[in-house]
């Protein structure tokens, strides 16, 4: 516990030290002033001189008329066209007033139908009191919501360790891969054969089981993964071939959104800039976005560097990386930038939103609370996940995958904790929770995030991926964090979508998420005693808290391939674990019921309706035949998430039961 406290204290200091420039000091409650209900969050950690406002339907025509006039005169828009609001703008010395989501001809209809055209951002003199400015705007009838632009942080522990080109140790001979990327031998997170050079506590199978999956597919260029992060170095020799290229760059971005866009600086993608934080200390890009991108789709089988989970087979068939840059110069991001990035990803065909960032507000404890204080980001996420608005050809609605957080908290960070998002926890090479990982309600699935401290192999127990040479001095290196776990799940999801496309199998978004979250290996049986790496943790604490289990790429492809039937011998009560349908932790999941028709109950001569008991299906069939059963379970935790309670995602599996006396013991039909 002593170590734990020390860790938390250190983490707090680190987090504080990461605070970006231009942040408003926390507001002091004004005893005499009543805060308007229209103001959805507080000015704590908010960017000075910026406010976001949602206007009423009635106000929109006036705003658009004013914008039209200002466009015609080529002047910077600083007025709304509504007198009462423009008076306030004048007081605030507004320097710009524009839509949060720019007008683009191609996507305008979709933007309007989602109501996102009602969000505007105004910038003004940074010396103005932010709370007073918000109050003034909230006092107008035309504005329904006022939001401070609060910050977002990367979900990693801050350090990159350049790869030094270590010789492949003898024990690595056990690793088998069809790809010729030389450093794959150090990517234990893909293929873990318990190499002692990584860690003396390394365990076979503490990986994402991707080697067998690669025999079936390495990716598909029709699948686009949006990396919402620092800018991805799109010239990196091991990434360039898998970068998404915009077929029609937009005037709204100066026709410069080639591989994505830099929403942090409102310009082309960058990855090696320096800045100064609010304390006057130098800060710089870290290579975080490039590292994350490499895990998803570093080019495979190119005889160079590392492999990516869905990086193809060396035949220009990797999934494509879209860089949606929200961090720059080592500074934190904002509500505004991430929301713009998320919508851009939806509009431009991203199927997966890879988000290794989280809210700086780690006290959010429910969807309702999150939706109330971050309505802009929530609406952007809903837009991304909606089949009506997401333009991906790979699936009907995008999948948003977030890092759970590195504060060691017993709940997921947000937005990952939001019930429609997937939140990823982290393990080390020892098949155990990483010392820093958040866990508990809101967390859905685990993946390797690595631990660069506390293992005999030091940084080799971290995750190896691509880096920015201008920043780190090399093209490859190690990092740790749920930030690193998250892209493993994004990569596996991308691999699954690739396989479905190639096989011509249509899977709904809901079914795909159910497949992804149940393509796992068991973690629960390992959670006894304590573990010491970066700190000492009690493993019992993590039981039932890490999500459904450790993600497994091969299992996902098999689930996409088809649903096996469940064999039930006749005339005996059976207790059957549903591992084939709910993954390696099936016996530890919380089930929400079994559904079967009365006709099927009668057809198979069941004396009682099947039910789940002790994590197993309790079923007796007295007649041969086929019936269909639907079972619901919670993916992550003991209860489903709701408006008011953080929880897991309810997943549904339907499968056929074959009750039969005949057939061979080896499974043969004859």
**Of 152, 193, 208, 185, which is closest to residue 484 (Cα–Cα)?**
208
- Size, binding site for another protein by CB under 8 A: 39
- For 134, the token pair is 């918000």
Candidates 323-331, 438-446, 524-532, 576-584: pick the segment binding another protein (CB under 8 A): 576-584
Q: Which of 65, 561, 572, 602 binds another protein (CB under 8 A)?
A: 561
Positions 640 through 669 that interact with another protein (CB under 8 A) = 656, 658, 660-669
Smallest gap from Cβ 557 to another protein, in A, equals 9
Residues 6+ apart with CB under 8 A from 416: 355, 358, 402, 403, 404, 405, 422, 423, 424, 442, 443
Q: Measured between alpha carbons, how far is 554 from 187 in angstroms, rounded to an integer?
A: 17
Q: Which of 40, 296, 580, 629 binds another protein (CB under 8 A)?
A: 580
Residue keyed to tokens 């100064």? 276
- For 428, the token pair is 């080390």
Chain Cα centroid distance, residue 100: 23
Quick check: 619 and 636 in contact, CB under 8 A?
Answer: no
Smallest gap from Cβ 667 to another protein, in A, equals 5
> Which is closer to another protein, CB of 32 or CB of 668?
668
Residue keyed to tokens 């088998």? 176
**Of 616, 629, 608, 620, which is closest to residue 570 (Cα–Cα)?**
620
Q: Count of alpha carbons within 13 Å of 580, Cβ hemisphere only?
A: 13
Give how far Cα 597 sits from Cα of 384, 443, 566, 600, 609, Å: 36, 33, 17, 5, 9
Q: Which of 90, 565, 573, 608 binds another protein (CB under 8 A)?
A: 565
Smallest gap from Cβ 462 to another protein, in A, equals 24
Candidates 47-55, 349-357, 415-423, 566-574: pick the segment binding another protein (CB under 8 A): 566-574
Smallest gap from Cβ 628 to another protein, in A, equals 8
Candidates 15-23, 133-141, 334-342, 578-586: pick the segment binding another protein (CB under 8 A): 578-586
Q: Which of 287, 417, 457, 584 binds another protein (CB under 8 A)?
A: 584
Candidates 51-59, 476-484, 590-598, 623-631: pick the segment binding another protein (CB under 8 A): 623-631
Q: Measured between alpha carbons, how far is 413 from 152 in angstroms, rounded to an integer?
A: 11
Q: Which of 625, 632, 639, 645 binds another protein (CB under 8 A)?
A: 625
Smallest gap from Cβ 447 to another protein, in A, equals 16
Is residue 657 classed as helix, strand or coil in its secondary structure? strand
Candidates 319-327, 473-481, 556-564, 590-598: pick the segment binding another protein (CB under 8 A): 556-564
Q: Which of 592, 616, 623, 639 binds another protein (CB under 8 A)?
A: 623
Across 486-538, the runs of DSSP E, i.e. the strands, are 520-521, 530-532, 536-538
Residue keyed to tokens 């522990």? 157
Q: Which of 529, 562, 598, 599 binds another protein (CB under 8 A)?
A: 562
Candidates 391-399, 463-471, 547-555, 639-647: pick the segment binding another protein (CB under 8 A): 547-555
> Which is closer to another protein, CB of 73 or CB of 662?
662
Quick check: 80 and 58 in contact, CB under 8 A?
Answer: no
Smallest gap from Cβ 525 to another protein, in A, equals 12
Give how far Cα 255 sits from Cα of 102, 251, 259, 448, Å: 13, 5, 11, 38
Q: Which of 33, 368, 567, 609 binds another protein (CB under 8 A)?
A: 567
Q: Which of 67, 273, 331, 558 binds another protein (CB under 8 A)?
A: 558
Positions 180 through 239 that interact with another protein (CB under 8 A) = 205, 209, 212
- For 49, the token pair is 């001189």
> Which is closer to another protein, CB of 411 or CB of 653?
653
**Of 159, 402, 164, which is closest to residue 286 (Cα–Cα)?**
159
Give how far Cα 188 sits from Cα of 193, 489, 641, Å: 7, 15, 33
- For 439, the token pair is 């866990």
Positions 467 through 526 that interact with another protein (CB under 8 A) = 521
Smallest gap from Cβ 223 to another protein, in A, equals 21
Q: Which of 559, 574, 585, 590 binds another protein (CB under 8 A)?
A: 559
Q: Which of 70, 171, 579, 588 binds another protein (CB under 8 A)?
A: 579
> Which is closer to another protein, CB of 545 or CB of 555?
555
- For 85, the token pair is 């609001």
Bridge-based pairing state of the strands 96-99 and 119-123: antiparallel
Q: Which of 147, 155, 413, 555 binds another protein (CB under 8 A)?
A: 555
Quick check: 223 and 320 in contact, CB under 8 A?
Answer: yes
Quick check: 427 and 448 in contact, CB under 8 A?
Answer: yes
> Which is closer to another protein, CB of 114 or CB of 210?
210
Candidates 309-317, 388-396, 558-566, 639-647: pick the segment binding another protein (CB under 8 A): 558-566
List interacting residues with another protein (CB under 8 A).
205, 209, 212, 521, 552, 554-555, 558-559, 561-567, 570-571, 579-580, 584, 623-626, 628, 656, 658, 660-670
């Amino acid at each position: 516990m002593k170590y734990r406290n020390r860790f938390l204290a250190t983490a707090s200091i680190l987090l504080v030290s990461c605070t970006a420039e231009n942040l408003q000091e926390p507001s002091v409650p004004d005893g005499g002033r009543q805060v308007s209900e229209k103001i959805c969050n507080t000015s704590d950690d908010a960017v000075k001189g910026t406010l976001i406002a949602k206007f009423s339907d009635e106000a929109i025509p006036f705003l658009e008329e004013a914008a039209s006039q200002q466009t015609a005169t080529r002047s910077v828009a600083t007025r709304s066209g509504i007198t009462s609001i423009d008076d306030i703008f004048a007081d605030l010395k507004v320097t710009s007033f524009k839509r949060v989501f720019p007008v683009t001809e191609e996507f305008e209809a979709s933007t309007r139908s989602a109501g996102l055209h009602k969000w505007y951002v105004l910038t003004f003199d940074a010396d103005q009191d932010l709370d007073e400015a918000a109050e003034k705007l909230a006092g107008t009838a035309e504005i329904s919501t006022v939001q401070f632009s609060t910050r977002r942080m990367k979900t990693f522990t801050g350090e990159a360790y350049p790869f030094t080109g270590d010789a492949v140790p003898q024990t690595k001979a056990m690793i088998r891969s069809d790809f010729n990327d030389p450093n794959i031998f150090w990517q234990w997170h893909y293929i873990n054969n318990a190499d002692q050079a990584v860690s003396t506590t390394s365990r076979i199978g503490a990986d994402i089981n991707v080697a067998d999956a690669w025999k079936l597919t390495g990716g598909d260029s029709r699948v686009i993964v949006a990396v919402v992060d620092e800018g991805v170095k799109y010239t990196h020799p091991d990434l360039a071939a898998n970068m998404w290229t915009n077929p029609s760059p937009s005037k709204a971005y100066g026709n410069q959104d080639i591989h994505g866009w830099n929403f942090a600086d409102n310009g082309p993608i960058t990855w090696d800039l320096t800045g100064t934080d609010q304390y006057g200390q130098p800060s710089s890009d870290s290579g975080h976005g490039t590292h994350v991108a490499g895990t998803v789709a570093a080019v495979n089988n190119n005889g160079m560097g590392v492999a990516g989970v869905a990086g193809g087979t060396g035949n220009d068939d990797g999934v494509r990386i879209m860089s949606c840059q929200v961090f720059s110069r080592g500074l934190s991001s904002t509500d505004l930038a991430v929301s713009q990035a998320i919508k851009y990803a939806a509009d431009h065909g991203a199927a997966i939103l890879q988000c290794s960032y989280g809210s700086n507000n780690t006290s959010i404890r429910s969807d309702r609370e999150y939706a109330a204080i971050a309505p802009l980001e929530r609406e952007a996420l809903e837009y991304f996940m909606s089949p009506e608005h997401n333009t991906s050809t790979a699936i009907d609605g995008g999948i948003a995958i977030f890092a759970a957080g590195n504060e060691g908290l017993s709940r997921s960070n947000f937005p990952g904790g939001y019930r429609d998002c997937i939140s990823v926890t982290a393990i080390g090479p020892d098949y155990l929770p990483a010392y820093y990982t958040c866990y508990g309600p809101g967390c859905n699935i685990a993946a390797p995030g690595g631990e660069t401290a506390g293992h005999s192999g030091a940084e080799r127990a971290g995750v190896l991926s691509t880096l920015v040479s201008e920043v780190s001095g090399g093209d490859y290196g190690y990092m740790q964090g749920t930030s690193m776990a998250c892209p493993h799940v994004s990569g596996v999801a991308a691999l699954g979508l690739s396989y479905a496309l190639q096989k011509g199998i249509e899977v709904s978004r809901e079914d795909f998420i159910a497949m992804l979250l149940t393509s796992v290996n068991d973690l629960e049986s390992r959670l006894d005693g304590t573990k010491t790496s970066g700190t000492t943790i009690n493993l019992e604490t993590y039981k039932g808290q890490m999500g459904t289990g450790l993600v497994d790429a091969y299992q996902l492809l098999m689930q996409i391939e088809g649903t096996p039937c469940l064999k039930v011998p006749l005339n005996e009560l059976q207790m059957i674990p549903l591992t084939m349908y709910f993954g390696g932790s099936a016996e530890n999941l919380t089930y929400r019921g079994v559904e079967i028709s009365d006709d099927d109950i009668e057809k198979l001569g069941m004396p009682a309706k099947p039910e789940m008991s002790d994590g197993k299906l309790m079923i007796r069939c007295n007649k041969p035949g086929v019936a269909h059963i639907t079972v619901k379970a919670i993916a992550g935790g003991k209860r489903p998430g709701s408006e008011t309670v953080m929880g897991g995602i309810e997943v549904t599996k339907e499968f056929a039961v074959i009750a039969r006396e005949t057939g061979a013991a080896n499974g043969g039909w004859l």
